[in-house]
Amino acid sequence: MAYWRRNSPQAEAATEPVAVTPPPAPVPEAVRPVPKTPRTRMMRQYDLVDRVRSYNPDTDEDLLNQAYVYAMKAHGEQKRASGDPYFSHPLEVAAILTDLKLDDATIVAALLHDTIEDTEATRTEIDSLFGPEIGALVEGLTKLKRLELVSREAKQAENLRKLLLAIADDVRVLLIKLADRLHNMRTLEFVPPASRRRIAEETLDIYAPLAGRMGMQEMREELEDLAFQTLDPEAHAVVMQRLNSLADRNHNLIEEIESELSARLASEGMHARVVGRRKRPFSIWTKMERKSVGFEQLSDIFGFRIVMNSVEACYRALGIVHTTWPVVPGRFKDYISTPKQNDYRSIHTTVIGPGNQRVELQIRTEDMDQIAEYGIAAHAFYKDGVGSPTEFVKRESNAFAWLRHTIEILSESANPEEFLEHTKLELFHDQVFCFTPKGKLIALPRNANVIDFAYAVHTDVGNSAVGCKINGKFAALSSELQNGDEVEVLTSGVQLAPPSAWETLARTGKARAAIRRATRTAVRGQYAALGRRIVERLFSRAKIEYADDKLTGALPRLARSTIEEVMASVGRGELKASDVARAMYPDYKEERVNRFGDKKSLAVKLRLKAPNEPPRHPVAIPIRGLNSDLPIKFAPNGGAVPGDRIVGIVSPGEGITIYPIQSPALKDFEEEPERWLDVRWDVDDVTPQRFPARLLVENVNEPGSLAQVATVIAEHDGNIDNISMSRRSPDFTELTIDLEVYDLKHLSAIIAQLRAKAVVARVERVNG
C-alpha cells in the first residue's frame, strides 16, 4: 500500500497554493525550529480533485474545493512543530485517504478534522456549510476539552471512549483518525521529546493494534515501525543494520525466489502473481523477544505472497508448493477456512525453498489480498447504491461487527482507567482458535484460558461456570488454551455470580468486564436486600404500611429511578430509612429515641438480656454468616459467635458490622442510634458454619507449651486463623489467638479445656 508521502512525485510536482492570509512575521533564528526534512510542498486544489477523480469520476469538485479553501483560511497562520503551515497536516491526511479510495465526505472531513478543535470554527458552521453528515464526522474526531479529570490516563481514556463511540456510528471516523495518527507519526521528530514518547506509546498500545484489528495491515506495520523507532532507537538501528547486511549478502534473492515460484506454478498451468518482501524491523524485534532467539536464528525474514484468481487455485498452488519443496513442520495455518476476526483470509506455510532458504508463503485471492492490505477500507464507499458506508461495512465486515460489540462492552466500564485497560486488552493480542463440543469456532487471544472461553460463548455460561473439560479431560478453569482445543464448560444453575478473583485470571476485556459487572450486580443486590429489611423494619415499628407501588410514586422525591436503587442506597447508608418513610408519608415524624427510651442506655439495657433470649421484635434481621445474602462482617477485634447477643452497626458503603452486645466498641456509636440494627442469629443446623472469635492466653514459657495449646484447639475441632505472641515477663508468654468456632458452647468448651492445662495460666475471651 503506497501512501502519499511528502517526498513523493505528486508532492514534488505540486506548487505552493496562493496565500490567503498575510505572511507571518519572521521568527528569530534562536527560537526557530530546525527542520530535519525538506518542507512540505502542499497540493493545489486541482491536485487533490484529480486524485479523487482518478477513482471516483463522479466526485463533487465544488465540495472538495470549498473544503480546501475553508480549512486553509480557518487554520490561517497556524504552524506545526516542523515550521510547516498547519494546513499541510489535514491536507496530507486527506491525501493518505485518497490512496484508500474513500468517498468525498471522508476526504472533506479529513480536510476539516482539526477545525472545531483548533480554530474558531463550530459544529453549527460546519453543518451549515458542508452538511450534518460531514459535521458529525468532524465532531467525532474532536477531542473533549476542559476535562476535569485527575490523571492523564483518565483524559486519554475519555477521549478514546468518545472516539470509539463515534466510530460505532460511522466507520469513516476510524479511517480518518488512523490517517491522522499516521501522518503525525511520520512527522514525530519535530515534537518535543516528552510528548514524542507519549504519542509513540499511545500509538503502539492503541492505534496500531486498532488498525490491525480492522485488517489494515500495511498501516498497522508502518505505525508500529515509526513508534518502535521512537521508543527504542538503538534496537531499531541494530535490526536495520542486520537487515541491510543480509540484503547485501543475498543480493537479488527476493527476485530469484519470486521468479522460481512463478515458473513452478506456470509449469502446472497456473497463473499467479508472486510478490516478495522482507519483514519490518518491529515485527522482527518482537519475534526475537517473544521466542528469545537471535537475529541469525530467525527463519522467516523473507515473506512471499502468492495471489491466485480463485479459492480452488489457492489450494492447488499449496499442493504444488508442498510437493516441490520440503515443508517446515508446525508452520501451516489455514485462515481461508477459519478467517481471523478482522476478515483476514490466507493460507500460511513455510518451506525450504529455492537455494535452501526458508521461505514463508501466503497464498490468497485478489479479493483476499485487498482486504489483507486495506481491511475495512477495501470496500468501495464511493460507489452508488451501497447504502451508508457504515451500513455497508456492517454487512460486509466481521471486523467492524467485532468492534461494535467490543465498544458495547467497554462502554459499561465503571471508570476511565478501567475503560483504557480493557481497550488495550481487546486490541493488543494474537489469536488461538478453539471449539465448543458442537463444533462452533471461538477465537480468543493468545494465553486465554477457559474462563475467557466461557464468556466468549455467552455471559451466562461464564457467570455459572464451575468446571470444564478440555479435549474430553477434566481441567481447571484457569487452564491456558491451545489452537484446536475442544472445550466443554460445565455450569451450575445455583451459581449466580462468578468469584471476583476471576477478574485477575481473565485475559480478555469481555470476560473481565462481565465479571466486574456481575460482581457489582451481586454486591448491589446484597445492599438492596439489606436496605429493604431496614426499611420494612422501620415501617413495622412505626406501624405504617409499606408497599412498592406507593414507593414508586415517591421515587422523584428521593432522586432515584428504581425501587432497587432506593433500597441499595439505604443498605449502603447513603439514604436513611426515615427519608424513605417521609417521601412516602410526608407527615411521618421520626422518633429520635430507641425502643428502650433513652438512646444512651441502649448498650446497658441490651446487656441485661439473657444470651439465648428470643428477640423482642420479629423484624430483627437474621444473620447467617459471611456467605449470606447480606453485606456483613464481624467485629474486627474479637468477632461474634452464635449464642452471643448481637447488635448490628450500619457503616456507609460497608454494610453491617456484627458486634456482641458486651463489646466495648459499641460505646463509639451511642450518639448515633440511627445506625443500630436489631439482628438475630439464623444458623443452619444441617450445614454448620464457623464464626470468628479471639482468645487471650497467658502461657508458661517452657518448651512445648505452644504445641499443647494448639493441640487442645485442634482436638476440639477449632480452627486457628491467626496467632501472635508477646513476651510479658521471662516466665510467661501472651498469645493472641484468632480462631473459628461453631457457636458459644463450642467456644466455652475450648476455653475450659485450655484452663485445665498446667502450662496455661490464664484464658480470656477478647471482645473488640
* Distance (Å, whole) CA 304 – CA 320: 15
9-236 to CATH, choices 1.10.1040.10, 3.30.830.10, 1.20.1260.10, 1.10.3210.10: 1.10.3210.10
Kindly indicate the confidence band of residue 181, based on its pLDDT and cuts at 50, 70 and 90.
Answer: very high
Between 267 and 30, name the one with better pLDDT: 267
Q: What is the CATH number of domain 245-378?
A: 3.30.460.10
* Distance (Å, whole) CA 502 – CA 512: 8
Question: 272 with 308: CB under 8 angstroms?
Answer: yes
For residue range 362-386, what is the model confidence (pLDDT) as tens digits? 999 998 998 888 877 775 454 444 5
**Alpha helices (H) in 497-508, listed in sequence order:** 502-505
pLDDT of residue 40: 52
Q: What are the φ and ψ backbone dihedral angles of 273, each rounded to 5 degrees?
A: -105, 115
* Distance (Å, whole) CA 107 – CA 88: 14
Question: 204 with 224: CB under 8 angstroms?
Answer: yes
760-765: strand order across its sheet = 719-727, 732-741, 691-700, 760-765
Kindly indicate the confidence band of residue 409, based on its pLDDT and cuts at 50, 70 and 90.
Answer: low
Tell me the average pLDDT across 102-109. Answer: 91
Mean pLDDT of all residues belonging to the chain: 78
Domain boundaries, the chain: 9-236, 245-378, 592-681, 691-765
C-alpha cell at 668: 463509639
Residues in Cβ contact with 281 at an 8 Å cutoff, skipping those fewer than 6 apart: 225, 228, 229, 236, 239, 240, 243
pLDDT of residue 604: 31
For residue range 420-462, what is the model confidence (pLDDT) as tens digits? 555 555 554 556 778 888 878 787 877 889 999 999 898 889 9
**Alpha helices (H) in 411-483, listed in sequence order:** 416-427, 450-457, 459-463
* Distance (Å, whole) CA 437 – CA 637: 51
Count the Cβ atoms, other than its own, within 10 Å of residue 474: 11
pLDDT of residue 396: 57
Question: 443 with 341: CB under 8 angstroms?
Answer: yes
pLDDT of residue 487: 92
pLDDT of residue 451: 93
User: What's the angle, vertex CA 666, arms to CA 660 and CA 671, rounded to 5?
Assistant: 145
* Distance (Å, whole) CA 750 – CA 747: 5
Superfamily of domain 691-765: ACT domain (3.30.70.260)
Is residue 346 pLDDT above 60, yes or no?
yes
Between 448 and 687, name the one with better pLDDT: 448
Is residue 105 pLDDT above 80, yes or no?
yes
Query: Which of 495, 531, 535, 533 lies closest to 515, judged by CA?
Result: 495
Q: What are the φ and ψ backbone dihedral angles of 629, each rounded to 5 degrees?
A: -90, 15
Which residue out of 117, 158, 367, 565 is catalytically annotated?
A: 117
Kindly indicate the confidence band of residue 581, based on its pLDDT and cuts at 50, 70 and 90.
Answer: confident
Strand partners, 660: 646
Give, for 402, the enclosing helix (H) or strand (E).
Answer: helix 398-410
**Alpha helices (H) in 34-190, listed in sequence order:** 45-53, 61-75, 88-99, 104-112, 115-118, 123-130, 132-140, 152-169, 172-186
User: Looking at 172-176, 371-375, 485-489, 603-607, which range is the least confident one?
Assistant: 603-607
Between 166 and 527, name the one with better pLDDT: 527
Is residue 8 pLDDT above 50, yes or no?
no
C-alpha cell at 75: 487554520
Tell me the average pLDDT across 616-625. Answer: 59
Angle between helices 172-186 and 132-140 (to 10 degrees): 50
60 in active site: no
488 in active site: no
Q: Which amino acid is at 51?
A: R
pLDDT of residue 624: 64
Longest Cα separation, the chain: 104
For residue range 587-615, what is the model confidence (pLDDT) as tens digits? 877 665 443 444 333 333 333 333 444 44
* Distance (Å, whole) CA 643 – CA 405: 53
Query: Which of 78, 105, 96 lies closest to 180, judged by CA?
Result: 96
* Distance (Å, whole) CA 737 – CA 391: 67
Which residue out of 118, 334, 564, 698 is catalytically annotated?
A: 118
* Distance (Å, whole) CA 232 – CA 242: 16
Buried b / exposed e over 450-467, threshold 16 CB at 10 Å, is: bbbbbbbbebebbbbbee
Question: Which residue is listed with cell 492490505?
Answer: 373
Give, for 246, the enclosing helix (H) or strand (E).
Answer: helix 233-249
Q: How many residues in total does the chain contain?
A: 768
Tell me the average pLDDT across 223-235. Answer: 92
* Distance (Å, whole) CA 746 – CA 683: 14
Query: Which of 393, 340, 427 lies closest to 102, judged by CA?
Result: 393
pLDDT of residue 93: 93
* Distance (Å, whole) CA 734 – CA 763: 10
Between 673 and 662, name the one with better pLDDT: 662
pLDDT of residue 595: 38
For residue range 283-339, what is the model confidence (pLDDT) as tens digits? 888 878 777 777 766 766 778 899 999 999 999 999 999 998 898 888 888 999 888
